[in-house]
Amino acid sequence: MNTTPLPPNTRPATAATAQRVQAVIDQLNLNAQVVELAVPARTAAQAAEALGVAVGQIAKSLVFRGVQTGQAVLVVCAGDVRVDEAKLAEHIGEPTERATPDFVREHSGFAIGGVAPIGHTGQVNVLLDESLRRYSVVWAAGGTPHAVVPLNPDALAAATARPWVSVCG
């Protein structure tokens, strides 16, 4: 468990989905703590404002559905960039569409606004975009729209054995 002091206006996360994320963080030895914000942070801008950080330091979690296979694809990228869907389609070998809220919850186990990069309950193809590497620490969703977790992008990639991709423009 991480012993770093909590950021202002936060408390340790108590929701079951946040605890699931924390358990995976502990298992992967990522030395981070999922915290709950005083306000919901469903968007990168809301999370950045609540934490007092740059929008780019928010790790956006965007879920897509493969049009042909129906696979769930999670792109985790910096909060100040957009996914280039043509690059994404080229990378995964099929076109994609934005996932519905039900699809997101069914495959990730999280509601939109709280999709963490780890701790999914279903099969999810997680792609870590190079845009995150500009920062030594990014804030990712921690399992609920109120929960966030500070992570070192390279440590996350190493712990999850996920390669870096470039699917944002």
In this predicted model, what pLDDT tens digit does every residue of 103-142 receive, in sequence order? 999 999 999 989 999 999 999 999 999 999 999 999 999 9
pLDDT digits 0-9 by tens, 53-72 = 999 999 999 999 999 999 99
Res 2: pLDDT:
52
Burial class (CB in 10 A: 0-12, 13-18, 19+), 93: exposed
Q: What's the whole-model pTM score?
A: 0.93
Answer yes or no: is pLDDT of 35 > 90. Answer: yes
Give me the percent of the chain exceeding a pLDDT of 70. 97
Q: Hunting for tokens 């470039």 — which residue is that?
A: 166
Biggest alpha carbon–alpha carbon distance for the chain:
46
Confidence of residue 95 (pLDDT cuts 50, 70, 90): very high
Name residues whose C-beta falls within 8 Å of residue 39's C-beta, 6 or more positions apart in sequence.
46, 50, 146
Contact at 8 Å (CB) between 117 and 128? yes
Helix (H) or strand (E) holding 157: helix 153-160
Question: Which pLDDT score is estimated for 96?
Answer: 98
> Residue 8's pLDDT is what?
73
User: What pLDDT does residue 47 have?
Assistant: 87
Spell out the SS3 assignment of 114-148: CCCCCCCCCCCEEEEEHHHHHCCCEEEECCCCCEE
